[in-house]
Amino acid sequence: MDLLFREGSDIALSSKPKDISDEDWEYVNRQACGTIRLCLAKDQKYFVMKETMALSLWKKLEDKYMTKSIENRLYLKKKLFRFQYKKGISMIEHLDNYNKILADLQNLDVEIIDEDKALLLLNSLPDTYEHLTTTLLYGKDEVKFIDVSNALVNNKYRKKDQLDHRDSTSEALTVA
């Protein structure tokens, strides 16, 4: 939607305005369809390959992937509750994956309270983050999602700085 808006072709997701010629309307629709298809994975494109009207293409995609069914809500809630840190990925990537699940749930009109978001995120972390988790929760009656995600990012950068400092210190010792 952001790309369509940026290029001015988001208008194609509504009915044709009276002040646009048929030729211009067709061009806007083709441009919007192309932009939407460029954002799809290869296996998702085949389903809407022949669509030339952006509104119908968008509707087909919504019907297929964004139905607000109980099955989709269950699937995403399971995904959220079972979400765990995958060894080898960065904390930023972990947070991005977590936020994607939250956004998908929000698109299905599922609201997760802020504290649950924070606690589920903490629960997704490996045991090596136990000290950070204890520090974040110690003496508090509540915890906020933004505080947890900020602490995780800051912790990542602090660890990187410590490693960089240790490497530069050992280099200085070797040179001396």
Same domain, yes or no, for 111 and 129?
yes
Distance CA 25, CA 94 (A): 42
Answer whether residue 13 shows pLDDT above 90.
Answer: yes
Same domain, yes or no, for 44 and 80?
no
In this prediction, residue 164 has a pLDDT band, given cuts at 50, 70 and 90, of: low
Nearest to 110 by CA among 68, 59, 172, 53: 68
- Beta carbons within 8 Å of 10's beta carbon, 6+ residues apart: 1, 4, 32
Nearest to 116 by CA among 85, 80, 140, 87: 80
Same domain, yes or no, for 49 and 101?
no
Domains held by the chain: number = 2
Answer whether residue 169 shows pLDDT above 70.
Answer: no
Rg of the chain taking only CA atoms, in angstroms = 23
Q: How far apart are the first and last CA of the chain?
A: 58
Same domain, yes or no, for 44 and 82?
no
Same domain, yes or no, for 95 and 142?
yes
In this prediction, residue 56 has a pLDDT band, given cuts at 50, 70 and 90, of: very high
Indicate the average pLDDT of the chain.
Answer: 88
Answer whether residue 173 shows pLDDT above 70.
Answer: no
Q: What is the pLDDT of residue 163?
A: 64
Burial class, 172, CB count within 10 angstroms (exposed 0-12 / middle 13-18 / buried 19+): exposed
In this prediction, residue 98 has a pLDDT band, given cuts at 50, 70 and 90, of: very high
Domain that holds residue 163: 70-175
Q: What is the pLDDT of residue 75?
A: 92
